[in-house]
Structure formats: structure tokens, C-alpha cells
């Protein structure tokens, strides 16, 4: 059955191509949404950019017909901009006639429900608006097209126990079949702890991992894997560092609570690789936006990048190097995410910290900028999100990890054990 989907502004800002995601149904954009897009198009960063992109797409659709009458989309659905005259609004609560744009979107949705026999739904990423809609009898839902389920995301590694004969065979041959460890399937680049000996699944086999040329990686030897002056403190950190250093892997997603070592490990491996690195993170301001801060880009970014510098200081200290000299040599570039668009980034080590604060569309924008030989690392904690309308299941970090799961060029590791300090670990667990 065909349905009406009324889109809130935040859905289009979250995903500028959202209007094409509702199959053969009717997509309704209330006129007040266009007013909001017009106001937001002047904003800096991804909000303004996405608003302008939606406006451009709507302008292109005008060549196919009239927006107020409905335009047929390639997926079989119809897009319509809804305009209401005063005489068309009936039986709407008086309190909705306020300055708040959200209330006008509710007015439009209520009016459409009364005028149409087709089931009508309001689609918004604003939780409070969904609650208000439900209170008025309006079916409301989140935009689910790019939503993933964090609970369904595997750890990126697993433990399997085998008998002594199979373990010896693994160490001698250098690989095992999945049937040898009693499982049917695995993801490409998934790590295995085979009775204490480590391997990685590739092209149908669990390949033995070695540290250097001779030492077999195991629960007794992983601490020998010293990278950028940093030694892994647990099994999952070893797996993360292996993925970060493996040239066959172009994309690494690291997920974990505060203190699990995500950023430190990424920076250490970047330094070890001796490749020019780009480090960035979303600038989610509590107060004024980055554009209002004085100084050059490096000075503006400093409040957000200080955790990066803190980690680099530790690495440089371990290596007996000076951070200022390292920066002066041009080994590291601090870049604002808003400046990534339009660039081509070849042969570099790119670390995106706090990636849980990015939308799936923003991550796509970044990854499509990557040139040959560049490695991208997405780092973040889905349980600490500062961006409105994102949650642990709809953010770009989890979405990307799910989409690339099993791809030969990607690896994913969830870090669970806090190593910063006992207090930091307890705080993450209890608070």
C-alpha cells in the first residue's frame, strides 16, 4: 500500500538524498521545511552544505514538472512540496499556531492526514517532535534508511579452542581451514585467538600471525609487537595494531569506550609507518563555532585537537623525539573536516577521531576523497555522542563498520578493556 511520508528538515540535513529512500511511496516536503533550508544554507560546515545540496536537487526536479503537483521519482515514488492556505487548515489545536517551525510541520501533517485516505507518517530525527506528534495522534518514526544496530556488530575477533594436534598443525602449516576449528563462516580480516595463538581470516583460511619473521603471535608473545614506541597491553589492542599496520587493509574502524587506547594506537602506528598523516575530528562546539575563534586554523583547532597532541607527546617521549620538530617537518597535518571536501588525499595515513559524531553522509564524503595508497582510520565511542539527531545506531562510525564488514580492504575491532587507568575504566563503567 502506498503511504505518505512527511519529511522534517533534520532528515534532509542528515541525508540530502533522503527523499529518494522511500521506494514507491509519496514523499511530502512542507513549505516551512524549505524556509528552514533557506535559513540553514548560510551555515558553515556540513549543515549549510547539505542544505544547499537539497535545494539544488529540488531545483533540478523542477525540470520534470511542478513541485506542488508532485513529481515522479526514478524509484517509482512521488515527491511533492505541500503548500497550505489558511482556509485549508481545520480542527488544529490553537497552540500550534506559534513561531516554532516544528509546530507548523505538525500542522501540515495533521491537515494531510485529514485530507488524504492514504496512511501518513511524519519522519523526523527529533525525538521530542516524535513525542509531540504521537501526543497529537500522528504516526511518527525516525529516519531508518542509514541506521545500523550496534548490538549486531561483531567484535572483530573471537576465541576458538582446539585440541593440541590441531594447534600444532596451525603453527606448522601457518593456516587452518574454518572446519578445523569447528565453525562455518567468518568475516574477511576477522581475528582469531586459536587456543592462545593468533590468526586472521583471509580468503577462506585462518592465517597464522607472526611478529617479525619468526615469533608466532600468541597470548604469551603479543607484547613483543612494539609499534611507535607503544606496546599492546591486551589481545584486542594487538589485533587493532596489526590491522593498523597491515598494508593490505585500507580502512580500519576502532570502537571502544574512553581509555581503551583507540587514538593512541592509531597515532603510534601512523608514526611507525613514517607516512605523512592527516588527523582530524568533528568540531562540535559547546558554545561558539570554530569560525568565531581567533587565529589560524591550527590555533582554532587546538581546543578540539588537544587530546591528539597529548597522545603524540607520549609517543614522541617513548621514541626520544621532539613533537615540535615532528610537526615542523610537515609529518602531520591538522585539518578541519569541513575542508576535506573537494580534496584528493593520496598515500597518507588519515585518522578521524570522534567519528561517532559524524553522519553516514559525512563519512561517505570523507572516504570518497581518499586517493591511492591512503589508509583511513575511524575512531570513536558510540556511547558518547554530542551531535543532535545521532545516536549509537545512526552515527557514521557504526554505519561504516557495518557496511564494510567482511570487505577484504577493511578491518574492524571493538576495544573493550580500559587501559588508561583503573579510575578511568571504573568511571566509564559506572558513570
Read out DSSP for 262-318? HHHHHHHHHHHHT--EEEE-----SSS-GGGS-S-HHHHHHHHHHHHHHHHHHHHHH
Q: Which pLDDT score is estimated for 122? A: 97
- The model carries a pTM of 0.83
Answer yes or no: are the C-beta atoms of 248 and 375 closer than 8 Å.
no
Q: How many CA atoms lie within 13 A of 346 on its CB side?
A: 1
- pLDDT of 21 reads 93
H helix runs in 62-126, sequence order: 101-115
Q: Whole-angstrom Cα distance, residue 262 to residue 377?
A: 10
**Lookup: cell for 427:** 568511571
Structural domains for the chain:
4-141 (3.40.50.1010), 233-430 (3.40.50.300)
pLDDT of residue 148: 87
In DSSP notation, 161-195 reads: ---HHHHHHHHHHSEEEGGGGT-S---TT-EEEET
Q: Which long-range contacts (CB under 8 A, 24 or more apart) does 242-249 make?
A: 242/191, 242/200, 242/209, 242/217, 243/189, 243/191, 243/411, 243/413, 244/269, 244/270, 244/375, 244/377, 245/269, 245/272, 245/273, 246/411, 248/408, 248/409, 249/189, 249/375, 249/409, 249/410, 249/411
- pLDDT value of position 430: 77
pLDDT confidence of residue 198: 98
**pLDDT tens-place values along the chain, 431 residues long:** 899 999 999 999 999 999 999 999 999 999 999 999 999 999 877 889 899 999 999 999 999 999 999 999 999 999 999 998 766 676 666 666 666 788 889 989 999 998 889 999 999 999 999 999 999 999 999 998 888 889 899 999 999 999 999 999 999 999 999 999 999 999 999 999 999 999 999 999 999 999 999 999 999 999 999 999 999 999 999 999 999 999 999 999 999 998 899 999 999 999 998 888 999 888 754 334 445 455 565 666 667 788 888 999 999 999 999 998 998 888 888 877 767 766 788 899 999 999 999 999 889 988 988 989 999 999 999 999 988 888 899 899 999 999 999 999 999 999 998 887 777 777 767 77
pLDDT in the model for residue 147: 83
Is 328 in contact with 298 (CB distance < 8 Å)? Answer: no
Closest CA to 9 of 44, 60, 48: 48
Which letter does DSSP use for residue 196 in this model? Answer: T
CA distance linking residue 197 with residue 199, whole number of Å: 7
Amino acid at each position: 500500500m502506498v503511504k505518505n511520508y512527511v519529511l522534517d528538515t533534520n532528515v534532509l540535513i542528515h541525508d540530502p538524498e533522503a527523499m529518494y529512500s522511500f521506494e514507491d511511496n509519496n514523499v511530502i516536503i512542507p513549505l516551512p521545511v524549505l524556509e528552514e533550508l533557506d535559513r540553514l544554507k548560510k551555515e558553515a560546515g556540513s549543515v549549510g552544505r547539505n542544505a544547499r545540496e537539497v535545494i539544488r536537487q529540488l531545483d533540478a526536479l523542477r525540470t520534470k514538472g511542478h513541485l506542488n503537483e508532485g513529481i515522479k521519482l526514478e524509484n517509482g515514488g512521488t515527491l511533492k512540496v505541500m503548500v497550505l492556505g489558511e482556509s485549508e487548515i481545520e480542527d488544529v489545536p490553537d497552540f500550534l499556531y506559534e513561531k516554532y517551525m516544528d509546530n507548523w510541520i505538525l500542522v501540515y501533517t495533521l491537515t494531510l492526514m485529514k485530507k488524504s485516505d492514504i496512511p501518513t507518517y511524519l519522519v523526523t530525527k527529533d525525538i521530542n517532535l516524535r513525542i509531540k506528534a504521537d501526543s497529537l495522534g500522528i504516526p511518527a518514526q525516525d529516519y531508518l534508511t542509514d541506521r545500523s544496530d550496534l548490538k549486531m556488530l561483531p567484535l572483530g575477533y573471537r576465541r576458538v579452542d582446539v585440541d593440541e594436534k590441531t594447534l600444532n598443525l596451525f603453527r606448522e602449516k601457518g593456516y587452518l581451514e574454518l572446519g578445523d576449528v569447528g565453525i562455518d563462516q567468518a568475516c574477511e580480516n576477522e581475528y582469531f585467538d586459536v587456543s592462545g595463538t593468533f590468526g586472521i581470516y583471509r580468503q577462506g583460511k585462518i592465517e597464522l600471525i607472526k611478529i617479525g619473521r619468526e615469533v608466532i603471535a600468541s597470548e604469551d608473545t603479543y607484547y613483543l609487537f612494539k609499534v611507535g614506541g607503544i606496546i599492546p597491553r591486551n589481545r584486542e589492542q594487538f589485533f587493532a595494531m596489526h590491522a593498523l599496520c597491515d598494508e593490505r587493509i585500507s580502512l580500519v574502524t576502532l570502537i571502544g569506550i574512553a581509555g581503551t587506547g583507540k587514538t593512541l594506537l592509531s597515532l603510534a602506528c601512523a608514526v611507525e609507518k613514517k607516512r605523512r598523516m592527516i588527523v582530524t575530528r568533528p568540531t562540535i562546539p559547546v558554545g561558539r563555532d570554530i569560525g568565531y575563534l581567533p587565529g589560524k586554523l591550527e590555533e582554532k583547532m587546538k581546543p578540539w585537537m588537544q587530546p591528539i597532541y597529548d597522545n603524540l607527546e607520549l609517543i614522541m617521549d617513548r621514541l626520544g623525539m621532539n613533537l615540535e620538530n615532528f610537526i615542523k617537518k610537515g609529518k602531520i597535518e591538522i585539518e578541519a573536516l569541513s575542508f576535506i571536501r573537494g580534496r584528493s588525499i593520496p598515500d597518507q595515513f588519515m585518522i578521524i577521531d570522534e567519528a561517532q559524531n559524524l553522519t553516514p553522509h559525512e563519512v561517505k564524503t570523507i572516504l570518497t576523497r581518499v586517493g591511492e595508497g591512503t589508509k583511513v582510520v575511524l575512531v570513536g565511542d558510540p556511547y558518547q555522542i554530542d551531535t543532535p539527531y545521532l545516536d549509537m545506531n545512526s552515527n557514521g562510525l557504526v554505519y561504516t563498520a557495518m557496511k564494510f564488514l567482511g570487505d577484504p580492504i577493511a578491518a574492524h575491532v571493538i576495544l573493550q578493556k580500559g587501559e588508561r587507568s583503573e579510575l578511568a575504566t571504573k568511571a566509564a563503567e559506572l558513570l
